[in-house]
Structure 1
Amino acid sequence: MNLPCITAARRFDPDAHRSFWLAGQRVGWIREGDVRHLARWPDVFDIEPARVALAPRFDKDVDSRSAALGTVIGALAAAGCIPGWRDEIYAIRNAFDDAPLAYIERAAARFFGTMTYAVHLNGIVKCADRAPQLWIARRSDTKATDPGMLDNVVAGGIAWGLGVEATIGKECWEEAGIGEVLAASALPGRTLHVLQSIPEGTQAEQIFVYDLVLPDDFTPHNQDGEVAEHRLARIDEVARWIAEGAMTVDASLATLDCLLRHRWIDEAVCSGIEVLYAGPAHLEWPSPPR
């Protein structure tokens, strides 16, 4: 079985990007083709051959950095350079527990290639008279990213101000109509680290994987319009969708983590996936020449 999602999760060419720096820290990647857009603000960015840095005069505090970036992000979105505006705040931080270096609109995280954080939940149905099954969602055709593709029953980015468990509870209800009490029984799997080039820019993301055993008489019901349908599928069907690339990269990896931990799939099939658990992708980024 060919699993392109494992390769895609590390499909990234640093030579096609310039590293992005804030407050003396490397925090992201900007595509070479997008650097020219930032040249409109020479007072905001120091643009060098190997990197782009926010000008030092904004380094006095988080608010100064956020305000400077916010002005640029708004103009880039108006020009069509940053699609899929979400009205949701993300913090720029290299580790989940780090203090924020700046706050930005969620849609801008891919343009600047900054670290983002997400939860993915595998909805498992176990019955005595048949093999385990998984609830799989199909994303709405109007989604800004990966429209129409198959996804985990619950998946979502972690906005600033929310922790992992709070995000699980929020997304469980919005995406599948899973109540608070049932959502609280979700159990953690492993943590995945993705670094890949995508149409919007760079996805550098840490994904917290969870499993939730759902009652066999429960049917997910989307609440926010972001899911077109839900399918209850056999393990072999889900494995085929992953191999065919019908599922998003994130969902494929989160599902494979579940299948491996429960020994519902042969480890040999997932050769190479171990590197995605090894550590944050951004720690492997090469330092730019000085």
Structure 2
Amino acid sequence: MSVSMSRRSKNNNGFVVKARVLNGLGDTKHDGISSIGCGSSFLPTRKPDDQTVALKLEDHLTALKPSQYLAELVDYYRKKVDDLLSDNGAVQRRLEQITSCIEEHRNLKQEMQAKDGEIMRLQRSMSELQDTLYQERDHVLRLTAENDRLRIKEQEDREKIHHLLNLTDMGPLEVTYFLKNRFADEPNQSPEASEVDESEPRQGPRSTLIIEQLIPRQNYTELLNSNKTRVFKNPKNERLEIAALKRQLESMQKTIICLRKQMELQSNNSNDQIKAALEERDNKQLELENKTQL
């Protein structure tokens, strides 16, 4: 059986050398006697204990002289150790770089998550502001429509007042009040239900003349419901009724123009709302995809 044993010894240069003693020829056992060979030397002994073997091996290694082969072996392992140390340093530096990169990536990921949360809050706030803005736009459109209606009504009332004043040949200061009812089938209206114009100071005697509607309710409704041309006995009444119809037509035309404008504004507002809703849906889908990827 081949025996291989090692020990550390110092060469002439002072370096630690790990010497290996090999039995090239093999060990022989004869009646409990064993021999250990090193090179061409044989040490026949009886079977000793481990301590005795270690001491004899140490003495034998001490007796060996350093050779060129051992020096080359020492140089080889020295270079090998230096290479391993340099590789170890490079690996350590690489590990430190990887550790710093991982830490930086973790910090960047946390910052990105915080920024994403802030962006989500800002998007929700922006959506709420857009909803509020669209509600205010609707409110403004309703107010604009009401304002247009009142303006048209005011213009129509002014034209009626002007026309009535022209009929009576009276000035503004001579008119006490006008009837609320536009038809003539209720002549006994109480002054308490009528509107009194007290905005201007009195500058002379006022007339108590009540100006009634020229077109009675029955004839007026018959004229509106029938497609026949009415034959007037008095040409003056015919002109007056035609003028009244013209004023009504102009008022309706103004109303149509205002309604068209309102419809256009409402359509634009609705389109903006639809566009904002679609953008919000796309943003939510993109946010959900990003969360799924993470």
When Rg is computed on C-alpha atoms for both structures, the one with the higher figure is 2
Q: With the length of structure 2 as denominator, give the TM-score of the two structures.
A: 0.17
TM-score, with normalisation over the residues of structure 1?
0.17
Determine which structure has the larger strand proportion and give its number: 1
Which structure has the highest helix share of the two?
2
